[in-house]
Amino acid sequence: MTRKWLILIFIFCCISGKITAHDNSLKLWYDKPAKQWVEALPLGNGRIGAMVFGDPAHERFQLNEETVWGGSPHNNTNPNAKEALPRIRRLIFEGKNKEAQELCGPAICSQSANGMPYQTVGTLHLDFEGINQYDDFYRDLDIEKAIATTRFTANGITYIREAFTSFPDRLLIIKLTASKKKSISFTAHYTTPYTENTEFCISPRKELQLNGKANDHEGIEGKIRFTALTRIDNNGGTLKVTSDSTLQVKNADSVTLYVSIGTNFINYKDVSGDALKAARQYMKQAGKNYTKRKEAHIAAYQQYFNRVSLDLGSNDQIKKPTDRRVREFSSVTDPQMAALYFQFGRYLLICSSQPGGQAANLQGIWNYQLRAPWDGKYTTDINVEMNYWPAETTALSEMHEPFLQLVKEVAIQGRESASMYSCRGWTLHHNTDIWRTTGAVDGAKYGVWPTCNAWFCQHLWDRYLFSGDKNYLAEVYPIMRGACEFYLDFLVREPKNNWLVVAPSYSPENSPSVNGKRGFVIVAGTTMDNQMVYDLFYNTIQAANLMNENTAFTDSLQTVANHLAPMQVGRWGQLQEWMEDWDNPQDHHRHVSHLWGLYPGRQISAYHSPVLFEAAKTSLTARGDHSTGWSMGWKVCLWARLLDGNHAYKLITEQLHPTTDERGQNGGTYPNLFDAHPPFQIDGNFGCTAGITEMFVQSHDGAVHLLPALPDVWERGVIKGIRCRGGFLLEEMKWEKGQMQTATICSTIGGTLRIRTGSPLYLNGEKLEPVEQAPCNNPLLQPQPIRKPLIAANAPLSIPQYKETYIYDITTDVGKKYTLSTRPMNH
């Protein structure tokens, strides 16, 4: 009998272990409360964000609202640029770059404001009675349901706290329960870091109320007003007012708290709303059946999250707390951690960027300071674009919409920036904010970069390549055309080669090494600018043809594109970052701006531009691996595009380097999986999610390439739901021993599906015949034409030999599914 019971207990333990592993597969979980903000767990519904600390005795919910920014509607362009522009260009072309840079400060950079800060609201505190010691502590963030849970035992009583930022109800909802009745007692109050223009009170409806006003900044009056309300519904016990800003619950069986936040923000030009009225409107959703509210929240969230799944296998690491797994990731194989990190990026995008709201900023929507790092602005020379790299590929197209709306709005404001150079169209520089300011900010060393419009337009066109939606294209085409008109007026011929170049500009945020010295950043014709303007012109020509635009306009674009400075291979075989061969092979700068044409651009590839491909690899290798967090996320994408899965994986291990430091530039990942620049920047999370996607499937280079950069460590797996250009959906792909087994692809708009793979393929059991490397007849999959690069006379060149691939063309019908396999179906 004893042996029988031992066997049963053993079986139960094994089953329990499996259940625990399964339950934790999409959870960040910890065995201690958060002490630092970078250990707290993020909740968000696009509009409001909350960081949950999980302290049994003193719980905190740090609160944000997406429109609480300093300042008010304005723009910050500099009218002096018109007069100074010819002289600045002359100085650059004479090699007097330092003098040109000195002139750019007063002539081009904003003389008013450098941009407004994203700000916090405050913190809701719950101070509990009788919880001095506790055991069996556990807290988690379930990213499959977007719910944070804290559980512990104190005085023999088990307490459970659930919190979620409801997507349909637009509230933070907190549920407190205990295993014994009359066991929940606490006081609730707000704090905020604002030192003026704030008010704490109890509303006539017996709610905590915090009224505040965002700050003035750099001479711009702060006009955003906000109101936070907390309603407490207690089941059993009592609720009473204990001061003019504190509520007390005594001896309750359970409690539900509802937090709403309203502001007076209407749009980037209008702040005439009523913050209290908005908060009360959201609070109307409170008090409904908790279970139904929770179910509705999960359903609303999962309509996005459940579109994509990734299974890379699992092991005993899943049984460990998340912060420990981060510490051990570089030394212990943990494939499920990579899958969790991939999905965490999707979670953050869903939670920080909802249709109809604001774009995710430098910190998404999570910030505890009056001035977020770098003001939390939309840094547009890489960071805000990186936020949206996974949007289309990982089936979160709706989450892309707030950013596309930002593009539409800066295109309006950006007419003033174009005008300051006496140009048509629109442009902006390396930063904007909620007010859509478009001037050059942060001084000449960082701000003189008038080419952001080209990068923004790349997002507009790339979205079309995924959907083929001509109604959408008709909506955004005028924005693309306006950006082109700016360059038709702004580009200037440089005297040495007679190329058309952008001047003045710089290569974000790096400076060249000339004769071993770094003395300036302002130059003409940087490689990134050339790549982006060429991308804009080529894409706009394609769009114009679809819009039946007159040929005179497209002919002018083609003529100018033919005279842009080409990409160049420099003296040590690198892709040059500047028009001159100034690259230093010892430069380990975090930005790799000249590799834009490799990713996110489409101009450099193994199969259509092998010389540039090898030069890009040389440059990236020289830059090194470890860097700031977001930079390593970008490098995951770049190494995936270089078809080197093992090196891409190495960058993932570099990014998942543990840290709690909120200063410096050492990179890594915080215990709550936030990306560390340091400090926290959310773009690294999004960049790595995009890079992992590129390791499994790519569709930028004339075909849907399956498993282009699979690392050895992910020997087997299943991925579902990835979107590809051409309107194709990779419904499911399985691989074993590093080789694809099956893939099911749905064609949403029809047309030719071109597949690239490392193995011969069968379609529905019938062997497919490879096609020659001829142009694909699907315009949504066609690569950009490659211009011949210039190669330094002494450049060491070698064209690499790549693993043989097979190319197949499949004619598809709308809505039909196509199952590919590497062996006959009856095998």
Q: How confident is the model at residue 772 (pLDDT cuts 50, 70, 90)?
A: confident
Which amino acid type is present at position 96?
A: K
pLDDT for res 786: 83
Taking only the tens place, the pLDDT of each residue in 517-533 is 888 999 999 999 999 99
pLDDT of 17: 37
State residue 826's pLDDT score.
63
Q: Could you read off the pLDDT of 423-447 as tens digits, one per residue?
A: 999 999 999 999 999 999 999 999 9
Model pLDDT for residues 550-587, shown as the tens digit of each residue: 889 999 999 999 999 999 999 999 999 999 999 999 99
- C-alpha of 40 from chain center: 20
Window from 352-361, 497-506, 534-543, 771-780 with minimum mean pLDDT: 771-780
Model confidence at 765, pLDDT cuts 50, 70, 90, reads confident
Task: Output the CA torsion sign for 661, 662, 667, 670.
Answer: positive
Give, to the nearest 10 degrees, the angle between helix 683-696 and helix 645-655: 160
How confident is the model over 776-803, as pLDDT tens digits? 899 999 999 888 899 998 899 877 677 7
CA distance 49 to 376: 14
| Predicted local confidence at residue 693, as pLDDT | 98
Please say if the pLDDT value at position 138 is more than 50: yes
- State the pLDDT at residue 653: 97
Q: Tens digit of pLDDT for each residue in 588-646?
A: 999 999 999 999 999 999 999 999 999 999 999 999 999 999 999 999 999 999 999 99
Q: Is the pLDDT of residue 15 over 60?
A: no
Which amino acid, 463?
R
**Pair of tokens at residue 817:** 């599914």
What amino acid occupies position 43?
Answer: L
- With a CB cutoff of 8 Å and minimum separation 6, the contacts of 648 are 636, 639, 640, 691, 694, 695, 709, 711
List Cβ neighbours of 718 (8 Å cut-off, separation of 6 or more).
309, 310, 311, 732, 733, 734, 735
Closest CA to 28 of 125, 110, 145: 145
- Judged against a pLDDT cut of 90, whether residue 16 lies above it is answered with no
Percent of the chain with pLDDT over 70: 97
Per-residue pLDDT tens digits for 185-209: 999 999 999 999 999 999 999 999 9
Residue tagged 């540039």 (tokens): 612
680: tokens are 């926290």
pLDDT tens figures, 234-291: 999 999 999 999 999 999 999 999 999 999 999 999 999 999 999 999 999 998 899 9
Q: Which helix (H) or strand (E) holds 147?
A: strand 147-154
CA gap 645, 309 in Å, rounded:
20
As a whole number of angstroms, the distance between CA 336 and CA 563 comes to 49
pLDDT on residue 23: 64
Question: Which backbone phi and psi does 125 adopt, to 5 degrees?
Answer: -110, 135
- The pLDDT tens digits of the residues spanning 456-502 come to 999 999 999 999 999 999 999 999 999 999 999 999 999 999 999 99
Q: Kindly indicate the confidence band of residue 20, based on its pLDDT and cuts at 50, 70 and 90.
A: very low
Phi, psi of 364 (to 5 degrees): 70, -105
**Distance between the two ends of the chain, CA-based, in angstroms?**
48
Decide if pLDDT at 696 tops 50.
Answer: yes
Q: Give me the mean pLDDT over the 701-712 stretch.
A: 97
**CA–CA separation, 582 and 575 (whole Å):** 11
CA proximity to 168, closest of 41, 292, 353: 292
pLDDT of residue 24: 75
C-alpha dihedral, 770 to 771 to 772 to 774, nearest 10°:
-150
For the chain, give percent helix, strand, coil, nearest 5.
35, 25, 45
Nearest CA to 682 out of 241, 229, 348 is that of: 348
Judge contact between 505 and 588, C-beta under 8 A: no
- Report the mean per-residue pLDDT for the chain: 95
- Closest by CA to 692, choosing from 729, 651, 728, is 651
Residues 6+ away with beta carbon under 8 Å from 316: none
> Average pLDDT of 3-26?
44
Using DSSP, state whether 471 is helix, strand or coil.
helix
Q: Which of 1-5, 131-135, 375-379, 387-391 has the lowest mean pLDDT?
A: 1-5
Distance CA 564, CA 103 (A): 26
214: pLDDT strictly greater than 50: yes
Residue 355 tokens read as 């249709």
